[in-house]
């Protein structure tokens, strides 16, 4: 896959592109290296021209590879990027001006930093595949080349049919409801399922008391300890399955249809489990005074003029919001399924679990927090296992 200075040093084949929904490169198109603001010679930015029209863009370095599709017009010997509307003005063609334009169709991105590859459809803002959940580390370009070869070799006619359905799907807007069951992909051909327990954004919008430190539009969701090749498991079956500890997830994946909603049932008390947020206020309005807060689902407590317990000022806020439908990788999920418990989850995420008051490693701290806030553990809508 190495190339001369007339094309990127690393480049996919059209056969590989076909297996991933990427637009093929016509032999008549010409690769041109773009002027870049980065002075590192290992970082390359390439545009692929069909006449004066840019069809492809590749960003390459030994630690990064990205390929996407464009249909952008240029002028003056391909030095100017023309506007898309009559109101716009031409701009000098650089990697920055081109990457600021929205690309089309599928985008492939590999990053050494996260050791993973992702295939994402730009038109629908949906991810087709991410190797991150599989814990399949792709740390070098050689690893990426091996992954590409394996992906192409393992592609079946059924995979191509499913890929075509994905590429032709329309962009969606889904109204999220508490009690929704949703499906997500684990790898290429397997699925997991989750459930929406609380729409935190709606709770805040309705004026219900809450500790308002969560960014974006967060949902409280749980993921079931379950992996299957069945994309249509009945919700009556799903609700009986054990689940991992709940967490905060942005509503983007469900709202845009990336994680399809497969049904809805009213939530029952025994199905609830919420993260416990505890700590001191971080509001600028409270600067100079003590204020301790606890949020667990709709349960909200505030202690005025009381400091958080010593040493626990920030580590139990537990206010991170993820974009992913699962907060662990597939091997850990499989270990929890095999063990019939969340023990592997708490053990393999121990550094993070030590900041979660639901963790078995934090029973003493949870008891102290409950005592300070005037609560019993039984009053908390959580599952302690």
Residue 214 CB neighbours (<10 A): 19
Average pLDDT (16-33) is: 95
pLDDT at 314: 64
Contact present, 196 and 250 (Cβ < 8 Å): no
Contact 148, 20 (CB under 8 A): no
pLDDT at position 2 is 38
pLDDT in tens, 285-331: 677 688 899 999 999 999 999 989 987 666 888 888 887 777 778 88
Burial degree of 256 (CB within 10 A; 0-12, 13-18, 19+): middle
Summarised one tens digit per residue, pLDDT across range 66-84 is: 999 999 999 999 999 999 8
- The answer to whether residue 3 scores a pLDDT higher than 50 is no
Higher pLDDT, 219 or 354: 219
**Mind listing the pLDDT tens digit for each residue in 205-225?**
899 999 888 888 999 999 999
pLDDT of residue 146: 94
**Tell me, what's the pLDDT at 320?**
84
**Which contacts of 130-134 are long-range, i.e. CB under 8 A and separated by 24 or more positions?**
132/324, 132/329, 133/186, 133/187, 133/324, 133/326, 133/329, 133/330, 134/186, 134/187, 134/329, 134/330
194: number of Cβ within 10 Å: 27
The per-residue pLDDT of the chain, averaged, comes to 89
Per-residue confidence band for 163, with pLDDT thresholds at 50, 70 and 90: very high
Tell me what pLDDT residue 371 has: 94
- Give the tens place of pLDDT for each residue, 109-118: 999 888 889 9
Segment 244-249 shows an average pLDDT of 93
pLDDT in tens, 118-159: 999 999 888 899 887 776 788 999 999 999 999 999 999 999
User: How far apart are the two ends of the chain, measured CA to CA in Å?
Assistant: 50
- Of 26, 9, 129, 27, nearest in space to 69 by CA: 26
pLDDT confidence bin for 1, thresholds 50/70/90: very low
For residues 179-188, average pLDDT: 92
Question: How far is residue 168's CA from residue 160's CA, in Å, rounded to a whole number?
Answer: 12
65 pLDDT higher than 90: yes
Residue 38 confidence (pLDDT) above 70:
no
Using one digit for the tens of pLDDT, what is the confidence trace for 364-383? 999 999 999 999 999 999 98
- Other C-beta atoms closer than 10 Å to the C-beta of 3 total 13
């Amino acid at each position: 896959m190495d190339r001369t200075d007339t094309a990127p040093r690393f480049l996919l084949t059209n056969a590989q592109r076909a297996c991933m929904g990427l637009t093929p490169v016509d032999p008549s198109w010409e690769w041109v290296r773009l002027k870049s603001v980065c002075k590192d010679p290992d970082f390359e930015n390439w545009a692929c021209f069909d006449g004066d029209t840019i069809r492809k863009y590749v960003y390459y370095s030994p630690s990064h590879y990205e390929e996407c599709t464009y249909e952008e017009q240029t002028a003056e010997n391909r030095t100017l990027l023309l506007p898309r509307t009559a109101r716009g003005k031409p701009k000098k063609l650089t990697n920055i001006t081109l990457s600021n334009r929205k690309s089309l169709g599928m985008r492939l991105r590999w990053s050494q930093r996260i050791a993973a590859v992702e295939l994402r459809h730009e038109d629908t803002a949906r991810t087709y595949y991410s190797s991150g959940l599989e814990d399949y580390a792709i740390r070098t370009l050689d690893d990426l080349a091996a992954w590409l070869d394996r992906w192409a070799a393992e592609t079946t006619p059924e995979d191509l049919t499913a890929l075509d359905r994905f590429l032709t799907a329309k962009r969606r807007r889904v109204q999220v409801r508490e009690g929704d069951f949703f499906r997500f992909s684990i790898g290429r051909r397997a699925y997991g399922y989750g459930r929406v327990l609380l729409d935190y954004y709606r709770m805040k919008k309705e004026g219900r008391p809450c500790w308002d430190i969560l960014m974006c539009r967060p949902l409280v969701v749980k993921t079931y300890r379950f992996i299957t090749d069945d994309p249509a498991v009945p919700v009556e079956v799903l609700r009986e399955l054990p689940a991992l500890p709940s967490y905060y997830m942005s509503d983007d994946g469900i709202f845009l249809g990336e994680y399809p909603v497969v049904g809805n049932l009213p939530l029952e008390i025994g199905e609830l489990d919420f993260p416990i947020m505890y700590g001191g206020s971080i509001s600028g309005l409270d600067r100079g005074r003590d204020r301790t807060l606890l949020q667990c689902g709709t349960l909200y407590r505030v202690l005025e003029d009381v400091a958080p317990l010593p040493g626990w000022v920030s580590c139990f806020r537990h206010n991170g919001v993820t974009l992913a439908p699962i907060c662990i990788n597939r091997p850990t999920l499989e270990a929890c399924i095999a063990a019939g418990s969340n023990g592997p989850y708490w053990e393999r995420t121990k550094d993070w679990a030590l900041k979660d008051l639901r963790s078995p490693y934090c029973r003493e701290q949870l008891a102290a927090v409950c005592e300070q806030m005037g609560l019993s553990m039984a009053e908390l809508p959580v599952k302690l296992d």
